[in-house]
Amino acid sequence: MSAPGRAGWFNAITSDERFRPADALTPAALLDAGLPLALFTVIYTVGGHNLTVSLWVALAAGAVLAVIRLVRRDQLQNVIAGFLVLGVGVFVSSRTGRAEDVFLPGLLINVGYGFAYLVSILIRWPIIGVLVGFITGQGTAWRRDRRMMRAYTNASLLWVAMFAVRLAVQAPLYFAGESQLGWLATARLLMSWPLFLIVVYLTYLVVRPAYHAYQAREAGDEPHELEESQELDEREQDEPSG
């Protein structure tokens, strides 16, 4: 669970519905986020550090959860992605013989997503704006509105912060090696879906008022404060290229 992946909570931004955690994360996805690696850590710790058995237990738990998610009609790409990340971690750990390497793909995913969100902000195409625009049919018109650009930028910064915090806590535990495996598993569990839901809710709080104000301005109920796209382009050209 690295990034916004379900349309439900995005739709809550555009309607009068209240935010519901179930729109952002299904019960099966909650288990999928931490159960396989939690089982891996427990079996590895109490089972005499038998890496092979522990990896097979984690893989079996991930497969069962993937089937449950498919039966519950979770989005197929999310189910495949979740199991694929687990599978890659199991493969890497089995090749290196290092128990902590089962967590490595998750850390690298946080690096990738955090970098992508940060770059999107720097080039003034914040990912949250792109996603909301695509899902709601708003397109890219929000880029010409100062308030929408600010809201989407701030919301995207929340996601950058989430990925950065995860890495700041979990990376040192990973590099500390097997001795910190239990703490690494605990940190990953606590910083997966709980932190994800907090950031999703904060994103909802940041974006929803700006979105509805923008819709009101478009409908003529509020003074129209659109900026011309040329102004944004000129500002981009005036800034040092770095």
The whole model's pTM is what?
0.80
Q: What is the pLDDT of residues 170-220, one digit of tens each?
A: 999 999 999 899 999 999 988 888 888 889 889 989 998 888 888 777 776
The confidence score (pLDDT) of residue 37 equals 87
Best mean pLDDT range from 6-15, 140-149, 150-159: 150-159
The confidence score (pLDDT) of residue 65 equals 81
If pLDDT is split at 50, 70 and 90, which confidence band does 27 have?
low
The confidence score (pLDDT) of residue 197 equals 86
User: DSSP E strands: which ranges in the chain?
Assistant: none
Q: Are 95 and 52 spatial neighbours (Cβ–Cβ below 8 Å)?
A: no
Q: What is the pLDDT of residues 124-134, one digit of tens each?
A: 999 999 998 88
Cβ neighbours, 10 Å, residue 60: 12
Percent of the chain scoring above 90 in pLDDT: 40
The confidence score (pLDDT) of residue 152 equals 95
CA atoms within 13 Å, Cβ hemisphere of 66: 19
Average pLDDT, the chain: 82
Q: What is the pLDDT of residues 163-183, one digit of tens each?
A: 999 999 999 999 999 989 999
Average pLDDT score over residue span 62-74: 80
If pLDDT is split at 50, 70 and 90, which confidence band does 108 have?
very high
Triad 236, 239, 242: Cα angle to 5°:
110
Q: Which of 126, 86, 134, 129 is nearest to 109 (CA)?
A: 86
Among 18-32, 45-59, 116-130, which stretch is predicted with the lowest mean pLDDT? 18-32
